[in-house]
Amino acid sequence: MEIERYHKKLIASLNLISLNFNEQREYFPKFVDVPFEILDTFEKAFMLLPELLELNLITYKAIPDLLRLHNLVNLELRNNDFETLEAEKLCNSREWNKIRELSKEILNFMDEPFGKPDKNFI
């Protein structure tokens, strides 16, 4: 069922964000902008949220934290340093660590295991 794939994409994106930078970059070819790809993976999965909620695949209690994460991701994408900082420095910044920790909290709140995401859903 397509909706199950949506759910797996959201969980995979949260797991991807939760990893440290060295683990994150293993998921992408060397020629891509890894920080952008990581955040874009979450943004694409976030767009599927209404369907997941309608089918009760995500608890409504997770919505505030998912919205906070969405806002933090968008702030990071608009950060002036996003285009100029080296990828590793960006992904180890205070803001990025806040995004990483919130992702872990959301996974925990949703009773989803934290770990390496399935590459098929990134």
* pLDDT, tens digit (0-9, with 9 covering 90-100), for 32-49: 888 889 989 999 999 989
User: Percent of the chain at pLDDT above 70?
Assistant: 92
Question: Does the pLDDT at position 21 exceed 70?
Answer: yes
| pTM for the model | 0.89
What is the C-alpha to C-alpha distance for residues 3 and 29, in angstroms, rounded to an integer? 28
Which whole number is the average pLDDT over 2-17? 92
pLDDT value of residue 104:
95
Look at 88 and 75; give whichever has higher pLDDT.
75
Residue 30: burial class (beta carbons within 10 Å; 0-12, 13-18, 19+): exposed
Contact 9, 48 (CB under 8 A): yes
Q: Residue 19: pLDDT band by 50, 70, 90 thresholds? A: very high
Region of residue 103 (phi > 0: left; psi between -120 and 50: alpha; otherwise: beta): alpha
